[in-house]
Amino acid sequence: MNIYEEDILDHYESPSNYGTLEDPDISYEEDNPLCGDKIRMELKVEDGIVADIRFSGHGCTISQAAASMLTEKIKGQPLDEVKKLSKDDILEMLGIPLGPVRLKCGLLALKVLKAGAYGLKGWPGEEDEESGE
Amino acid sequence: MNIYEEDILDHYESPSNYGTLEDPDISYEEDNPLCGDKIRMELKVEDGIVADIRFSGHGCTISQAAASMLTEKIKGQPLDEVKKLSKDDILEMLGIPLGPVRLKCGLLALKVLKAGAYGLKGWPGEEDEESGE
Amino acid sequence: MHAQPMNDALTLHTLDVEAIRNDFPILKQESDPRLIYLDSAATSQTPDCVVNAMDEYYRTYNANIHRGIYRISEEATARYEEARKKIARFINARRSSQIVFTRNTTESINLVAYSWGSANIREGDEILVTVMEHHSNLLPWQLLAQRTGAKLRFIEITEEGLLQLDDLDRLLTERTRIVAMTHVSNVLGTINPIQDITAAAHAVGAKVLIDAAQSVPHLPVDVQQMDCDFLAFSGHKMCGPTGIGVLYGKLDLLEEMPPFLVGGSTIRSVQREHSIYADPPAKFEAGTPSIAEAIGLGAAVDYLRKVGLEAIYAHEHELLEYAHQKLSDIEGLTIYGPKPRQKTGAISLNLDGIHPHDLAGVLDVSGVAIRAGHHCAQPLMQQYDVIATARASFYLYNTLEEIDRLYDGLLTAKKIFTRRRR
Amino acid sequence: MHAQPMNDALTLHTLDVEAIRNDFPILKQESDPRLIYLDSAATSQTPDCVVNAMDEYYRTYNANIHRGIYRISEEATARYEEARKKIARFINARRSSQIVFTRNTTESINLVAYSWGSANIREGDEILVTVMEHHSNLLPWQLLAQRTGAKLRFIEITEEGLLQLDDLDRLLTERTRIVAMTHVSNVLGTINPIQDITAAAHAVGAKVLIDAAQSVPHLPVDVQQMDCDFLAFSGHKMCGPTGIGVLYGKLDLLEEMPPFLVGGSTIRSVQREHSIYADPPAKFEAGTPSIAEAIGLGAAVDYLRKVGLEAIYAHEHELLEYAHQKLSDIEGLTIYGPKPRQKTGAISLNLDGIHPHDLAGVLDVSGVAIRAGHHCAQPLMQQYDVIATARASFYLYNTLEEIDRLYDGLLTAKKIFTRRRR
Ligand SMILES: Cc1ncc(COP(=O)(O)O)c(C=O)c1O
Ligand SMILES: Cc1ncc(COP(=O)(O)O)c(C=O)c1O
């Protein structure tokens, strides 16, 4: 499985929902300290539903394609669905395996979304790290 | 070759020149930070000759026997002979091989003597560490 | 020929020690005399699985971590972070981000004393330690006290080597900011009642740092149950490699603490005059970390879990009971510290009229490796009014026969030295 | 099939690279695609002799050092101190006591910034660095400046990636306390004229710390000739293990400096409230050091000396010349930094319209390992107005054919990404 799948390149080349919103209800930006990739997410929320969403920023194919795909997935859905999205959902969405370094690129968009909507810190998937037998 | 040679035990049991001097010309004490062994050396110097010498302190067989042997060796000699004494002289005097840790016990007396007489810091033998091809 | 264990009831039954010894090539090494290693409190021996895990890194996926977008770097990153998770699980930390990799216990404690200390300690504050601390859990607080004008206070010990807890009420006040104490004494073996002291400290608002260098290797440690704020330990004392240590901390504390060592990896973003620091643990792991060593420590933790900490503790206890009984018939021998029931596998002793160095020297001649000295615990030595002691310490690979050899060696030393005494 | 070097004059002639590659098992490893390792500036590969030296410690004389009066501890102590001597000789230090073992370059620099810095830097003082510093040689000084009220000043660079030394007279004043600068840039490869700058700094009474992380592995370094006051480098970038670094210092400075990390081994004597510290290097090596790693670094230094630093430098230079020439025909490619003549084996580049991460990602598919990112040099990135670059870096085991593979990979990336550009 190649990282440079057509599908991912398509999203990178022609991202969905790229840009900004006027008067967003949620607006949040963060970068990946490992590489400097940056993503901003802006959302309009109506009756708990993601009425509109845009992303902007810069970065590699994976981080930008993941952001584009995520906006498609979440638009029109209840905002609370965001909270349930996991690392695995993103991997499934991208359809390629990612090592721990590139995983951070793939998860940046979701991290920004969760932080913006719920103030959740930490990388998606880290909540799975609760240890114990 | 056993560390607990008769000769060394003899010096430990009945050390030569153990004690203190009244009005010594040189008096110096130091300990081995690795183990707490402590040795004090006191000297009377007349016309550049070590007229009298005593040591005191406490420690293991090696450090105490080396001190005892060293006082025997240096008494009646020109003080300047002390400066020439090296790590190897002490090893030869003791007549047994010593690893780097016990070596410090064996060298403590000489270190005290050199520091007291000439203000030389550092362990005898360290001056050999000058590197270079 | 060395005596067989004399008492059948004392035959070891909790661990298959022979099988364990096979995992440690150094113990199987041909040499004359054979190595009898009784210095595990200084550093433990290393099983092959740990060495192999590190060799595998160097030979198949040697790469720097966290930033490489290529296979071996992804692999190294995954294994390094997996080691962190294993260690979190081993001490029952809630999250792996509470595990900061350092070089050793000493660095872990210094990190807290500098970072947390500078942010939280003011003139007039008090820092409570015990007189049985290793220098590594005393000197960082001495320096902090000198820098800030805070005051060091000491929990004393009883003649038997137990903490004098009657004093605790007097010593723990609203001025106490932190209690820094060892879980297990490296000299006496004493196991301290951490949970009680932690509760008392928290009741007056003080934080608690536990020096677990001698406990994490030898008995089950559960940081959530202990409820300590910080815990420090070293890889090399728990079957792991040198060059790796751990600081565990409560997450809110690690988040609030200012950075300490800074550089590559500790940051979110850097400007010329100002930088924004990363979240823990990255904030505290400056520069290229001990990658192979963290992976090695992960393998050590796997190994210890497989053997089982309860079993190791029970095994050491058997060795201790046997040793105390056996050595008690040597005239002129003093053992410092409590009865076996209250300690783990270390015996500090002195034999009348023989310098501990000489004891160690005589024992070395017959291959028995013990430690002699102040064991980096000079205030404790001062308390017992000795310069040094000889210490034999045990671990999962030691046998009863090895204790017999220790006994034989002590008798030999006595013979060499007392024959000559006037 | 990959192209053979096109130009016969460029056949490698300074090193027997095939023989060298045999010393590195990872490079001989069967895998599809085969590993083309071009990230030695991040961490170097490790020859078998280094891994074996560490394994020997763990399997035959694993013991703590400096205090054990038994054979394996004497042996471990001797080997550890012998490694220190080897390293002293390698950089031509006068005495081995000028070599302090740390974890890495980053810790070495932090040690100076905390210990020397706290004792010598006051409000209004100036610390001079360059804009090409690695974060590890910037952040410790930023924090020191913030703690003390001192001011950070910067030597700028030219478009070509050389230091703007015209500025030096203006920047170096009697307020300058220390100049902290890199010998070789980890991004650009630029070799800085250390000796001139050191002389100028000393003329105004400033000390000089050299970050030699990228120079000691790649070219002959002589601290007496340089006359620097401090020098820092890492084992893992010079064929050594992770977990070990070095701080070299002038002896009088090391003696005057207050202790930094404290604990076991750093002392002469300890009282409850006060301690007397040991002479260097012991004063700065707190707790159980990276014993196996120091011994491993000693073996690495033996290895590098056997190959010869001049030969390694010349070899990298050949690779650089070849790579610059070969890559120059790729349209849209920017190489940052000076011509090969003025640098060592690193090439930072960007390809128009392709994120460096994606370059690295495409190259990884064909087994070529390069680094992409800010390389812990954000101020330098800001200077070039880029977020990141892709960096290929070379070492003694790299070949011309590997550069051909890099070239092929860059062309592939171009094809994947430009075919689709509108
Ligand atoms: C110039 C320079 N300085 C410092 C460092 C930091 O080295 P380490 O991560 O080994 O502390 C590096 C390594 O990336 C470097 O290239
Ligand atoms: C109780 C205790 N604390 C701290 C230390 C220091 O450990 P390290 O030397 O690994 O930093 C030791 C080890 O001797 C110890 O026994």
**Structural domain tally of chain D?**
2
Measured in whole angstroms, the distance separating CA A92 from the mean position of its chain's CA atoms is: 13
The last residue of one of the domains, among C305, C329, C357, is C305
> Cα–Cα distance between B26 and B41 in angstroms, integer?
8
| D7 inside domain | no
Ranges of residues in chain B with a pLDDT under 70 are 1-2, 127-133
Nearest CB to A105 within list D357, D365, D416 = D357
Residue B27 is predicted with a pLDDT of 95
pLDDT in tens, C98-125: 999 999 999 999 999 999 999 999 999 9
Whichever domain contains A68, its CATH number is: 3.90.1010.10
**Maximum average pLDDT range among A95-104, C160-169, D10-19:** C160-169
Q: Identity (one letter) of the amino acid at B32? A: N
**Structural domain tally of chain A?**
1
Q: Which residue of C has its CA nearest to A131?
A: C89
Active site residue D228: no
Does one domain contain both D373 and D411? yes
Residue A132 is predicted with a pLDDT of 40
**What's the whole-number mean pLDDT along residues D194-198?**
97
Query: What dihedral angle (degrees, nearest 10) is formed by the CA atoms of D337, D338, D342, D347?
Result: 50
> How many beta carbons lie within 10 A of that of residue C130, not counting itself?
25
Contact A101 C93 (CB under 8 A): no
What is the dihedral sign for C-alpha D349, D355, D360, D365?
Answer: negative
Residue C367 is predicted with a pLDDT of 96
Mutating which of C139, C381, C383 best tests the D interface, going by the most D Cβ atoms within 10 A?
C139
- Whether C167 and C129 have beta carbons less than 8 Å apart is answered as no
| C2 inside domain | no
Query: Quick one: three-class SS letters along chain D?
Result: CCCCCCCHHHCCCCCCHHHHHCCCHHHHCCCCCCCEECECCCCCCCCHHHHHHHHHHHHHCCCCCCCCCCHHHHHHHHHHHHHHHHHHHHCCCCCHHHEEEECCHHHHHHHHHHHHHHHHCCCCCEEEEECCCCHHHCHHHHHHHHHHCCEEEEECECCCCCECHHHHHHHCCCCEEEEEEECECCCCCEECCHHHHHHHHHHCCCEEEEECCCCCCCCCCCHHHHCCCEEEEEHHHCCCCCCCEEEEECHHHHHHCCCCCCCCCCEEEECCCCEEECCCCHHHCCCCCCHHHHHHHHHHHHHHHHHCHHHHHHHHHHHHHHHHHHHCCCCCEEEECCCHHHECCEEEEEECCECHHHHHHHHHHCCEECEEECCCCHHHHHHHCCCCEEEEECCCCCCHHHHHHHHHHHHHHHHHHHCCCC
Higher per-residue confidence, D390 vs C418? D390
> Cα–Cα distance between D197 and D194 in angstroms, integer?
5
Q: pLDDT grade, residue D11 (50/70/90)?
A: low
3-class state of residue C366 by DSSP: coil
The last residue of one of the domains, among C255, C273, C305, is C305
Does one domain contain both C136 and C108? yes
pTM above 0.80, yes or no: yes
Q: Identity (one letter) of the amino acid at A106? A: G
Contact D372 A36 (CB under 8 A): no
| D6 inside domain | no
Does one domain contain both D98 and D178? yes
Contact B34 D66 (CB under 8 A): yes
Query: Is some CB atom of chain C closer than 8 A to the CB atom of B4?
Result: yes
pLDDT in tens, A24-82: 999 999 988 777 789 999 999 999 999 999 999 999 999 999 999 999 999 999 999 98
Does one domain contain both C273 and C397? no
pLDDT in tens, C120-153: 999 999 999 999 999 999 999 999 999 999 999 9
- Whether C50 and C295 have beta carbons less than 8 Å apart is answered as no
Does one domain contain both C153 and C278? yes
What is the dihedral sign for C-alpha B113, B115, B120, B123?
Answer: positive
What is the dihedral sign for C-alpha C6, C8, C14, C20?
Answer: positive
**Maximum average pLDDT range among B8-12, C8-12, C240-244, D362-366:** C240-244
> Cα–Cα distance between D316 and C235 in angstroms, integer?
38
Residue D19 is predicted with a pLDDT of 95
Partnered with residue C155 across adjacent β-strands are C130
Q: Are strands D368-369 and D36-37 parallel, antiparallel or unpaired?
A: parallel
Whichever domain contains D326, its CATH number is: 3.90.1150.10
| C238 inside domain | yes
What ipTM is given for this predicted complex? 0.93
- The one catalytic residue in D49, D228, D239, D376 is D376
The ligand that comes nearest to the alpha carbon of residue D129 is 1
Of D78, D137, D135, D91, residue with least CA distance to D112: D137
> Cα–Cα distance between D49 and D14 in angstroms, integer?
22
**What's the whole-number mean pLDDT along residues A9-14?**
92
Does one domain contain both D91 and D218? yes
Q: pLDDT grade, residue D5 (50/70/90)?
A: very low
Give the residues surrounding ligand 2 with Cβ less than 6 Å away: C 104-106, 134, 136-137, 182, 186, 211, 213-214, 234, 376; D 264, 287-288
> Which of D44, D102, D136 to mutate to test ligand 1, by most ligand atoms within 8 A of the CB atom?
D136
Question: To which residue do tokens 């210094």 refer?
Answer: C110
Does one domain contain both D324 and D197? no
Residue A120 is predicted with a pLDDT of 82
Q: C355 lies in which domain range? A: 12-45+308-421
Of D352, D355, D345, residue with least CA distance to D324: D345
Q: Going by beta carbons, is chain D in contact with chain C, meaning 3 or more pairs sit under 8 Å apart?
A: yes
- For a pLDDT cut of 70, what percent of chain C falls above it? 96
C 162-221 residues inside an 8 A Cβ radius of D: none
Q: Is the CB of D136 under 6 A from ligand 1?
A: yes
Q: How far does the centroid of ligand 1 lie from the alpha carbon of residue D185, in Å?
A: 10
Of D238, D193, D187, residue with least CA distance to D389: D187
| D4 inside domain | no
Does one domain contain both C204 and C91? yes
Residue C230 confidence (pLDDT) above 50 = yes
Q: Are strands D230-234 and D207-211 parallel, antiparallel or unpaired?
A: parallel
> Cα–Cα distance between C210 and C91 in angstroms, integer?
13
| D1 inside domain | no
- Whether D95 and C253 have beta carbons less than 8 Å apart is answered as no
Residue D13 is predicted with a pLDDT of 61
Ramachandran category for residue D249: left, alpha or beta (phi over 0 → left; psi -120 to 50 → alpha) = beta
Whether a cis peptide bond, with omega within 30° of 0, leads into D47 is: no
Residue C11 confidence (pLDDT) above 80 = no
> Cα–Cα distance between A111 and A63 in angstroms, integer?
11
Q: Which residue of B has its CA nearest to D90?
A: B132
Q: Which chain A residues touch C282 with a CB distance below 8 Å?
A: 33
Q: Which atom of ligand 1 is nearest to the CA of D234?
A: 10
> Cα–Cα distance between D203 and D195 in angstroms, integer?
12
- For a pLDDT cut of 90, what percent of chain D falls above it? 91
> Cα–Cα distance between C119 and C178 in angstroms, integer?
13
Q: Which residue of C has its CA nearest to A99?
A: C74
What is the dihedral sign for C-alpha D287, D289, D291, D293?
Answer: positive
User: Encoding tokens for residue A97?
Assistant: 């395996």
Contact A59 D365 (CB under 8 A): no
Q: Are strands C36-37 and C99-102 parallel, antiparallel or unpaired?
A: unpaired
Size of interface A-D (CB pairs under 8 A): 47
> Cα–Cα distance between C233 and C216 in angstroms, integer?
7
Distances (CA, A) of C253 to C116, C119, C229, C259: 8, 11, 8, 12
User: Encoding tokens for residue C97?
Assistant: 């981000």
Q: Going by beta carbons, is chain D in contact with chain B, meaning 3 or more pairs sit under 8 Å apart?
A: yes
> Cα–Cα distance between D400 and D404 in angstroms, integer?
7
What are φ and ψ of residue A89, in 5° steps? -60, -40
**What's the whole-number mean pLDDT along residues A88-111?**
91
Query: Is some CB atom of chain D closer than 8 A to the CB atom of A114?
Result: no
H or E stretch at A42: strand A38-46
Distances (CA, A) of A73 to A90, A125, C413: 10, 19, 79
Q: A84 lies in which domain range? A: 3-131
User: Encoding tokens for residue D344?
Assistant: 């060592």
- Give all strands (DSSP E) within C159-251, no chain letters: 176-182, 207-211, 230-234, 245-249
Does one domain contain both D33 and D55? no
Does one domain contain both D131 and D216? yes
Contact D67 C371 (CB under 8 A): yes
Residue D14 is predicted with a pLDDT of 77
Partnered with residue D106 across adjacent β-strands are none
Partnered with residue C369 across adjacent β-strands are C37
| DSSP class per residue in chain B | --TT-HHHHHHHHS-TTBS--SS-SEEEEEE-TTT--EEEEEEEEETTEEEEEEEEEE--HHHHHHHHHHHHHHTTSBTHHHHH--HHHHHHHHTS---HHHHHHHHHHHHHHHHHHH---S-TTGGGG----
Q: Which chain B residues touch D75 with a CB distance below 8 Å?
A: 99
> Cα–Cα distance between D418 and B93 in angstroms, integer?
81
The last residue of one of the domains, among D281, D305, D329, is D305
> How many beta carbons lie within 10 A of that of residue B77, not counting itself?
14
| C256 inside domain | yes
Residue C8 confidence (pLDDT) above 90 = no
Question: Which residues touch D110 (CB under 8 Å, ≥6 apart)?
Answer: C261, C262, C263, C286, D140
Q: HSE on the CB side for D33, CA within 13 Å?
A: 18
Contact B33 D269 (CB under 8 A): yes
pLDDT in tens, D96-136: 999 999 999 999 999 999 999 999 999 999 999 999 999 99
Query: Is some CB atom of chain C closer than 8 A to the CB atom of D278?
Result: no
Mutating which of B61, B64, B102, B103 best tests the C interface, going by the most C Cβ atoms within 10 A?
B61
pLDDT in tens, D286-309: 999 999 999 999 999 999 999 999
Question: Which residues touch B46 (CB under 8 Å, ≥6 apart)?
Answer: none
Q: HSE on the CB side for D102, CA within 13 Å?
A: 29
H or E stretch at C168: helix C168-171
Distances (CA, A) of A27 to A47, A68, A86, C279, D63: 17, 16, 21, 22, 57
> Cα–Cα distance between D231 and D233 in angstroms, integer?
7
- Whether D266 and D259 have beta carbons less than 8 Å apart is answered as yes
Q: pLDDT grade, residue D12 (50/70/90)?
A: low
Does one domain contain both C137 and C247? yes
Q: Which chain B residues touch D66 with a CB distance below 8 Å?
A: 34, 101
Does one domain contain both D102 and D32? no
Length of chain A, in residues: 133
What is the dihedral sign for C-alpha C245, C249, C255, C259?
Answer: negative
Residue D37 is predicted with a pLDDT of 98
pLDDT in tens, D254-297: 999 999 999 988 888 899 999 999 999 999 999 999 999 999 99
| C54 inside domain | yes
Query: Is some CB atom of chain C closer than 8 A to the CB atom of D103?
Result: yes
Residue A36 is predicted with a pLDDT of 76
